[in-house]
Every structure is written in structure tokens, then in C-alpha cells.
Chain A
């Protein structure tokens, strides 16, 4: 019997909970890799553009 070891409803519910957690995490990780991968790459380019300017502390020192 496949589910013979589950003795009551609470065990079924916990099994359902962990199924949602594990498979939800897998989907979330897979999605995040592509979603953050795409947007993160654009943000790195923007960050590099902004970082080309002189930092505030050096501007203050120069002035």
C-alpha cells in the first residue's frame, strides 16, 4: 500500500504542506534565475554608468 504509513489526516496535511514548500521553492528558484538574471544584467549596466562619475567625497576634496 503506497500511503500506508500516514496514520491520520494531520500527516497528510503536513505532507501536502512540504510538497507545496519543496515544489514551490523549485519553481521559485527556476523563475528567479531567469527573472533576476534579465533585470539584474540591466541594473549592472546602469550601475556602471552611474559609477563613472566622480564620487562625492572626492568632489568635496577637490573643491
Chain B
């Protein structure tokens, strides 16, 4: 284990402080609007801290570092795109201004005003399916980071993450959004400090110019990392030396393994996304579309808009958080790129380490005692703030859009509060088993990507139509949800039936674009058909004027 006494002390103090603060503010929760939206009393700076903390989890750090490992600095392109949209949306108020003015608790609630109860329920179902299933990935990836960076034995992963989620559940269930805001604030400070410190240490180890040169050289030489299975446990002496278990050339590394390589990783052009081995223009366009859809429809992001004191503060939160999203990709991407350069200079990856786990493995090797504790506390903060924000958001959607519309008699305020708290606990328990203790089959990852794409394509189309398309109606909304699902579901079927090298295989970008196009087509075609066949009247867009 790589942790010293100082590291452990820092982590324990952070966890104790965070949970105490989260539980302490439970006294302010007396009704559902307190629990779900902090009575819409959130100001700009607290909103910036909360939004930044929630949207930067360990899962984000892991996959952005993976992009950095594969594509160097070009891997941070989605962050630049996201910051661009975030600032533009904050400047113009596109979607978020009328959404906040409508005074709804969730996005599907807005749909009921425009399209009726069925659409609200269907949209709520899509939101919960896409959101909760995808959140299942968070815990395992967060655990992978902690296990690799702290040098913990692999079987500890499930227990550490279960314990962490129990702490998050404790304060989220008691204090709801108020606890989430206060703990997000603390986590923002610890996480921000940890990220800056880590980046400085990484820059010192890798050297800025040397890093760029090394990555370019690896790309020009068409270097390939060979990922091989984990080796059997080493004798204690070998582990204690701190040296990397394999510093040989990848080819030699592979040839000496008894089992075949798991995968090969090519190093893309590091300076921009259009060079040799880089992801290309289609990927950039897809990332741009996903970024716009995510910042305007992803319920956890939008929850901060809805909790803001007014529309102007909601827009200000977006403008001031925009550049944070560049760093969200660029700084962990820097760690991933530095890990790539480090292992390239070493001649290959250690056994059992791949492009996803290379970064935490690298940090575990370069961070000194004390700094390691701060970085782990920072990443725990990132994980906890994301988990608490997501638990609260999905519980609010289930409560508000799936359960409440089905009740014949309104519940008392106390019963409503109890119900939403029970939902938070149930989602937490589900995540522990779905995300940690149940081993996902390989194909399950495809289904997660599918549900995420259906969510973004359907909800973005519905939201734009509800706010800006006067001819939209319920038939169009149902058609948009159904047709938005065809592209991603077709992607799974076609790719399951075709061999890996077949030209008929559909890329994720094409499947994603088709989902958005089909959803838009469904909305326009369905709305026209609805008006023709049912004689549905032309309706006003739902915005602030309809509140």
C-alpha cells in the first residue's frame, strides 16, 4: 500500500469534516422544495461551486485522462467545445432562461404543461433509465482510480466504494439539496486544490515541452502499447522496490506473456483532432452536439439552473462555470498524456494496466507522501459530490415525474418528504449492487451508451420543441422519443450481427447523429400528423410567460 500515515490522516479529516457538515444542515429541511431545490435560494458562487463539483467526478477524470492518453492534448477538445456552448448558453439564455422562468422542478414537468401527462411520464422514464444506469459506471471507475493510485489490493475496491456511498447516502438522505450544496462547496475547494497540486507535480515530472515532443515522437514512430493481463502476485520484495513491473519493449513484453494481449493502443496525433491517428472531424462534430445537448438537458446540470434564485443568476452560473469545463478535460487529460509519455519512455505498460488505469498508476508512482493524501481526498471529494448530486436528482425525477402523476390523492408534506428520502436510499442500494457487486457483461456497456444517447437525443429535441417550436404537440413528442431510440438500438443490433472488420458496422458517432436526426424528424413529422389526424390546435411554446 502506497499511503503513508500523513496521507491517511488527511483523508480521514476530510471525510469526517464533509459528512459532519452535510448532516448538520439537515435541520433546514422541512418540505420537499427544501429537500429537492434548497427552496430555490441558491446564489451564484454557491451555484458555480456546486455545478463544478457535481460535473467533475472521478469517472470524468478517468475518461478524460484516457482521452489524454490516447490523443494527447487533442483529447481535451470536448472540454473546449463544452466551455464554448456553456458560455454561449449563459450569454443568450438559450433553453435555460425559459426553463428557469417556468418554475418547474424537473424537465419532464415542463413537458406536461406542453404535451400532457403521458409525455411527462415517458420523458421521466427515459431520464431515469439513462441517468441511473449510467451512474452505475461511476462507482466502479472511481474505485479503479483509488485502488490504482493508493496501491490497494483489487478486492478492496467494492468495500471502499460501498463505504463511501454509505457516507454520501447518509448526508444526502437527511439534508437533500442543502447538504449537497454545502458538501459540494467543501468538495469544490478540496478537489480544486488537489487538481492544481497534481497538475503542477505532473508538469514538473513530465516537462511541458518535453511532454509535447515525446507524444509527437510516439505518434510519428506509430508506437503501440500492448495491454497484457495482470501478472500473478509478486513477492513482497519486488513490490516494495517501487519499480514498474515491466519496463521492456511492448513487443518483447507481449512475447514473454503466456496469455495473449487484451488490446493494443495506438498513440494518436497529440496536437489537434484532425492529424494522423487522431479521432477526426466526425468525432469533433459529434462531441459538439453531445456537449450542447448535455449542458441543456442533463438533469443534474439543469438542477442547478432550477435551484438558482432567478433566470439571471442561472445564466451567470453558466457563464462563470464555462471555462471550468476546459480544465475539466484539459487537466486530467494532461495527467493521461503525461502517463502515456512516461510509459512510452519506459518501453510499455505494466501488466494489468491499460489506457484507462495508466493515469492513476502513474500518479501512484510520482506523487510524494502528503501530496498523495491531498490528491486522494480531492478525488474522493469529486466522487462524493457527483454521487450526492446524482442521487438527489434522479430521486427527484422519480418522485416528481413517475410517482406523483400516478397518485390519485395528494400526499401530506411529511409523507412527500419521506417518499423522496426513501427513493434516494433505494437508488443508492440499487447502485451498490448494479455498479459494484454485480459484474456487468461486456455487452452491457453498449446498452449504457444506448440509453445515454436516447436520453440526450429525445430530451434535447423535446426541450427545444417545447420552448421554441409553436407547432409541436403530444404526437410529435411521443414520436420524437420513439424515433430517437431507433438509431442507438439499431447500432447495437447491427454491430452484434456483423463481424468486427465489416464495413457495415455503425460507428458510435453515426448512431448518435442518427438518433438526433430521427428524433427531430419524429417531432416535426409527428406534430404535423397529429394536427392533421386529431385536429390538435397549434400551441404556444412553454416558457416564462406560461408559468
Report whether A36 and B41 are in contact in the complex, using a CB–CB cutoff of 8 Å: no
Report whether B326 and A21 are in contact in the complex, using a CB–CB cutoff of 8 Å: yes
Chain B residues positioned under 8 Å from A26 (CB to CB)? 196, 199-200, 327, 331
Min C-beta distance of B44 to chain A, whole Å: 8
B-contacting residues, A1-58, CB 8 Å: 2-6, 11, 14-15, 18-19, 21-22, 24-26, 28-30, 32-33, 35-37, 39-44, 46-48, 50-52, 54-58
A interface, over-half SS: helix
Complex: A46 Cα to B181 Cα, angstroms? 13
Min C-beta distance of A6 to chain B, whole Å: 8
Q: Mind listing 10 A-B residue pairs with CB under 8 Å?
A: A18-B271, A18-B330, A19-B208, A22-B199, A25-B326, A25-B331, A29-B195, A40-B49, A47-B181, A58-B31
Beta-carbon contacts of B281-297 to A below 8 Å, as 1s and 0s? 00000000000000000
Known interface pairs A47-B38, A48-B25, A51-B28. Does A11 touch B46 (Cβ–Cβ under 8 Å)? no
Chain A residues positioned under 8 Å from B25 (CB to CB)? 48
Report whether B178 and A51 are in contact in the complex, using a CB–CB cutoff of 8 Å: yes
Whether A61 sits at the interface, judged by CB under 8 Å, is yes
Beta-carbon contacts of B34-69 to A below 8 Å, as 1s and 0s? 100011011111101100100000000000000000
Chain A residues positioned under 8 Å from B413 (CB to CB)? 57-58, 61
- Which positions in B face A, CB cutoff 8 Å? 25, 28, 30-34, 38-39, 41-46, 48-49, 52, 73, 76, 80, 178, 181-182, 185, 188-189, 192-193, 195-196, 199-200, 208-209, 212-213, 216-217, 220, 271-272, 323-324, 326-327, 330-331, 334, 413
Complex: A56 Cα to B208 Cα, angstroms? 55
Chain A residues positioned under 8 Å from B32 (CB to CB)? 57
Complex: A56 Cα to B40 Cα, angstroms? 12
Report whether B73 and A24 are in contact in the complex, using a CB–CB cutoff of 8 Å: no
Closest to B325 in A: A25
Complex: A48 Cα to B175 Cα, angstroms? 12
Chain B residues positioned under 8 Å from A57 (CB to CB)? 31-33, 413
Closest to B209 in A: A2
Complex: A16 Cα to B158 Cα, angstroms? 43
- Which positions in A face B, CB cutoff 8 Å? 2-6, 11, 14-15, 18-19, 21-22, 24-26, 28-30, 32-33, 35-37, 39-44, 46-48, 50-52, 54-58, 61
Report whether B196 and A29 are in contact in the complex, using a CB–CB cutoff of 8 Å: yes
Complex: A44 Cα to B25 Cα, angstroms? 10
Min C-beta distance of B26 to chain A, whole Å: 11
Name the one of B39, B42, B196, B209 contacting A33, with C-beta atoms under 8 angstroms: B196
Report whether A22 and B324 are in contact in the complex, using a CB–CB cutoff of 8 Å: no
Closest to A53 in B: B39
Complex: A59 Cα to B199 Cα, angstroms? 50
Report whether B181 and A51 are in contact in the complex, using a CB–CB cutoff of 8 Å: no
Name the one of B39, B45, B76 contacting A39, with C-beta atoms under 8 angstroms: B45
Report whether B327 and A47 are in contact in the complex, using a CB–CB cutoff of 8 Å: no
Q: Given A33-B193, A43-B42, 4 other A-B contacts at CB below 8 A?
A: A26-B196, A35-B45, A36-B188, A47-B181
Known interface pairs A25-B331, A36-B48. Does A30 touch B43 (Cβ–Cβ under 8 Å)? no
Closest to B25 in A: A48
Min C-beta distance of A26 to chain B, whole Å: 6
Report whether A15 and B271 are in contact in the complex, using a CB–CB cutoff of 8 Å: yes
Closest to A12 in B: B271
Report whether A25 and B38 are in contact in the complex, using a CB–CB cutoff of 8 Å: no
Report whether B76 and A18 are in contact in the complex, using a CB–CB cutoff of 8 Å: yes
Closest to A18 in B: B73
Report whether A5 and B213 are in contact in the complex, using a CB–CB cutoff of 8 Å: yes
Report whether B30 and A36 are in contact in the complex, using a CB–CB cutoff of 8 Å: no
Report whether B331 and A22 are in contact in the complex, using a CB–CB cutoff of 8 Å: yes
Min C-beta distance of A36 to chain B, whole Å: 5
Report whether A55 and B181 are in contact in the complex, using a CB–CB cutoff of 8 Å: no
Complex: A26 Cα to B188 Cα, angstroms? 15
Name the one of A4, A15, A19, A33 contacting B192, with C-beta atoms under 8 angstroms: A33
Complex: A33 Cα to B334 Cα, angstroms? 20
Complex: A43 Cα to B43 Cα, angstroms? 7
**Residue with the greatest number of chain B CB neighbours at <10 A, chosen from A2, A40, A44:** A40
Complex: A43 Cα to B330 Cα, angstroms? 29
Chain A residues positioned under 8 Å from B208 (CB to CB)? 19, 22
Complex: A22 Cα to B338 Cα, angstroms? 13
Chain B residues positioned under 8 Å from A15 (CB to CB)? 212, 271
Min C-beta distance of A18 to chain B, whole Å: 4
Complex: A41 Cα to B46 Cα, angstroms? 8
Report whether A21 and B80 are in contact in the complex, using a CB–CB cutoff of 8 Å: yes
Report whether A52 and B28 are in contact in the complex, using a CB–CB cutoff of 8 Å: yes
Chain A residues positioned under 8 Å from B30 (CB to CB)? 54-55, 58
Closest to B190 in A: A33
**Residue with the greatest number of chain B CB neighbours at <10 A, chosen from A3, A11, A50, A55:** A55
Known interface pairs A3-B209, A25-B323, A28-B327. Does A14 touch B271 (Cβ–Cβ under 8 Å)? yes
Chain B residues positioned under 8 Å from A11 (CB to CB)? 271
Report whether A22 and B181 are in contact in the complex, using a CB–CB cutoff of 8 Å: no
Chain A residues positioned under 8 Å from B209 (CB to CB)? 2-3
Complex: A58 Cα to B200 Cα, angstroms? 51
Complex: A35 Cα to B212 Cα, angstroms? 32
Closest to B30 in A: A55
Complex: A3 Cα to B208 Cα, angstroms? 12
Min C-beta distance of A58 to chain B, whole Å: 6
Report whether B33 and A56 are in contact in the complex, using a CB–CB cutoff of 8 Å: yes
